[in-house]
């Protein structure tokens, strides 16, 4: 049965190609949506770019026919603009001037006059609540949603191997069909292992014996960088060994690394340590610089209103990066903060030499980034469209590291299933060019209090 989908503005801003995602159904754009797009087309960053992209698409459709009567879409279905139903009655508590309420009027009018099922599609949870109050069916935009967080790909697993194969693991590796898992009920099963998946391997006769490995071309192999200590940092748990392995690999072999985990699991700290190792301690010539972006919501929405130049605007948002650098630049905990000025001078020298640069996310658009160690911190605050823009900016020799915690999202209209970090993790699963690891709460190394808080709060 054909359905009528009424599309809210926020869906188009987050996913400019959303109009092509509703198959053979009818799409209705209320006039209020066009007005909001017009108001956003000059906005800075991702918001303005998305608005302009949608407007260009609508102009192409306008040239094909009358948008008020309806225009056929390439992927099937039909799109039309709805300017009527301004007189539709709303409860007196609902303001007639609010754009959201004008969109709801269109939904109510269509629902009253059309035999087809009418569904409002919006990223705004309050809008969905208001729709329910008015008897209008509403849903989130589902195309960009991934699995519930507990079912998302973690990039790791814990499995068993026969004792005789386990003994020769470091020399020969083990074929993945020889590895098995055990259910809580004690039954064996053959796991489906993805390319580059990390494994804690146990001997089936001696479960306390373990090896750490990674899947490559159907073989579970030992870690290449297990004994490394980038910038003097050594792993403290399995998750950090896996993260170190992914980060230390050259960009040609591992151009994309995705690391998810709670606060205190050393994602940013370890990423900086490996970058400094490659640029300062043992320069390999792999990278020209470390480029850091921390895409908080303010980068797209409010950076233009902050005082100063670009670096001054983003420096408060990059303070967590500075905290990590302080620990890396001076590893002597007892002496580190005795001379704050000297410590700050060392960090400023690194930035002055251009070894580390920091930029706002919206300045990456349209660039080709070459031979760069690119860290996107707090990547859970990106949209899927932004993540696509970031990854497709990778030029020759660039390594992109996406870091974040899907439970700590600050941006409106994003959640643990629709943020760019989770989206990239699910869609890049199995790619030979993508290495992933999710660090567990038990692998928090910030402090005893931080570890306890992660478990309790």
- The model's pLDDT over 369-410, given as tens digits with 9 standing for 90+, comes to 899 999 999 999 998 988 988 898 888 999 999 999 999 998
Pairing relationship of beta strands 210-216 and 198-203 according to DSSP bridges: antiparallel
pLDDT value of position 44: 80
CA distance 41 to 16: 12
End-to-end CA distance of the chain: give it in Å, rounded.
Answer: 46
Long-range CB contacts for residues 164-171, cutoff 8 Å, separation at least 24: 166/201, 166/202, 166/203, 166/204, 166/209, 166/211, 167/203, 169/201, 169/211, 169/213, 169/220, 169/222, 170/211, 170/222
For residue 36, pLDDT over 50 is answered with yes
Mean pLDDT across the chain:
89
Contact of 261 with 405, CB cutoff 8 Å: yes
Radius of gyration of the chain (CA): 25
For residues 120 and 447, the model is more confident at 120
With cut-offs at 50, 70 and 90, classify the pLDDT of residue 303.
very low
β-strands 372-376, 289-293: how paired? parallel
3-class SS shares of the chain: helix, strand, coil, % to 5 = 40, 20, 40
| CA–CA gap between residue 43 and residue 28 (Å, rounded) | 24
**The pLDDT of residue 307 is above 60:** no
Least trusted range by pLDDT, from 105-114, 213-222, 361-370:
361-370
pLDDT at 300: 45
Tell me what percent of the residues of the chain surpass a pLDDT of 70: 92
- Report pLDDT for 366: 64
Least confident residue range of 42-51, 119-128, 170-179: 42-51
**pLDDT surpasses 70 at 91:** yes
Band (pLDDT 50/70/90 cuts) for residue 66 is: very high
The pLDDT of residue 49 is: 87
Between residues 368 and 407, which one has the greater pLDDT?
407
pLDDT of 78 above 70 = yes
User: Of 439, 25, 30, whose CA–CA distance to 258 is shortest?
Assistant: 439
The band of 187, judged by pLDDT with boundaries at 50, 70 and 90, is very high
- Per-residue tokens: 133: 């109050």
Q: What are the structural domains of the chain?
A: 3-139 (3.40.50.1010), 146-222 (2.30.130), 236-456 (3.40.50.300)
Cβ proximity of 286 and 250 under 8 Å: yes
Which among 454, 301, 263 has a CA at the least distance from the CA of 386? Answer: 301
Model confidence at 316, pLDDT cuts 50, 70, 90, reads low
pLDDT of residue 335: 59
pLDDT at position 454 is 65
Residues 409, 381 contacting (CB under 8 angstroms): yes
pLDDT surpassing 70 at residue 336: no
Q: What backbone torsions phi and psi does residue 434 show, to the nearest 5 degrees?
A: -120, 130
Q: What is the spatial distance between Cα 454 and Cα 434, in angstroms, rounded to a whole number?
A: 28
Task: Tell me what pLDDT residue 37 has.
Answer: 97
Residues 6+ positions from 422 with CB-CB distance below 8 Å = 146, 149, 152, 260, 380, 406, 416
C-alpha to C-alpha distance for 433 and 222, rounded to whole angstroms: 18
Which sign, positive or negative, has the C-alpha torsion 44, 361, 195, 240? negative
Token pair, residue 245, equals 């392995």
Q: Tokens 């300045």: give the residue.
A: 363
């Amino acid at each position: 049965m054909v359905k009528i989908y009424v599309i809210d503005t926020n869906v188009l801003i987050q996913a400019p190609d959303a109009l092509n995602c509703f198959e053979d159904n009818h799409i209705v754009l209320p006039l209020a949506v066009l007005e909001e797009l017009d108001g956003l087309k000059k906005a800075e960053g991702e918001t303005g770019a998305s608005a302009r992209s949608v407007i260009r698409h609508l102009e192409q459709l306008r040239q094909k026919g009358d948008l008020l009567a309806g225009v056929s879409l390439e992927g099937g279905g039909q799109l039309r603009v709805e300017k009527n139903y301004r007189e539709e009655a709303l409860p007196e508590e609902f303001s007639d001037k609010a754009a959201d309420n004008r969109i709801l009027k269109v939904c109510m009018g269509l629902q009253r006059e059309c035999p087809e099922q009418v569904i409002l599609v919006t990223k705004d949870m309050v809008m969905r609540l208001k729709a329910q109050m008015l008897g209008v069916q509403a849903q989130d935009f589902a195309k960009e949603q991934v699995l519930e967080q507990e079912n998302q790909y973690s990039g790791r697993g814990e499995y068993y191997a026969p004792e005789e194969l386990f003994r020769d693991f470091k020399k020969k590796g083990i074929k993945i069909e020889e590895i098995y898992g055990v259910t809580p009920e004690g039954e064996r099963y053959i796991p489906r292992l993805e390319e580059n998946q990390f494994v804690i391997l146990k001997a089936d006769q001696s479960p306390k014996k373990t090896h750490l490995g990674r899947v490559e071309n159907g073989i579970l192999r030992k870690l290449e960088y297990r004994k490394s200590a980038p910038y003097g940092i050594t792993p403290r748990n399995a998750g950090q060994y896996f993260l170190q392995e992914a980060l230390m690999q050259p960009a040609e072999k591992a151009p994309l690394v995705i690391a998810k985990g709670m606060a205190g699991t050393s994602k940013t700290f370890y990423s900086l340590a490996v970058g400094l190792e490659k640029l300062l301690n043992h320069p390999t010539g792999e990278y020209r610089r470390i480029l850091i972006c921390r895409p908080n919501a303010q980068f797209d929405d409010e950076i233009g209103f902050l005082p100063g130049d670009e670096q001054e605007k983003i420096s408060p948002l990059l303070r967590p990066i500075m905290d990590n650098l302080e620990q890396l630049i001076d590893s002597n905990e007892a002496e580190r903060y005795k001379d704050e000025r000297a410590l700050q001078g060392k960090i400023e020298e690194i930035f002055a030499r251009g070894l580390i640069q920091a930029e706002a996310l919206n300045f990456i658009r349209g660039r080709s980034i070459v031979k760069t160690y690119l860290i996107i911190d707090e990547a859970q605050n990106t949209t899927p469209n932004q993540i696509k823009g970031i990854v497709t900016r990778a030029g020759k020799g660039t390594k992109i590291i996406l870091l974040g915690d899907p439970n700590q999202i600050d941006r409106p209209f994003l959640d643990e299933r629709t943020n760019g970090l989770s989206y990239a993790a699910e869609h890049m699963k199995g790619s030979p060019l993508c290495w992933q690891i999710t660090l567990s709460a038990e692998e928090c190394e910030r402090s005893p209090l931080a570890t306890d808080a992660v478990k309790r709060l």
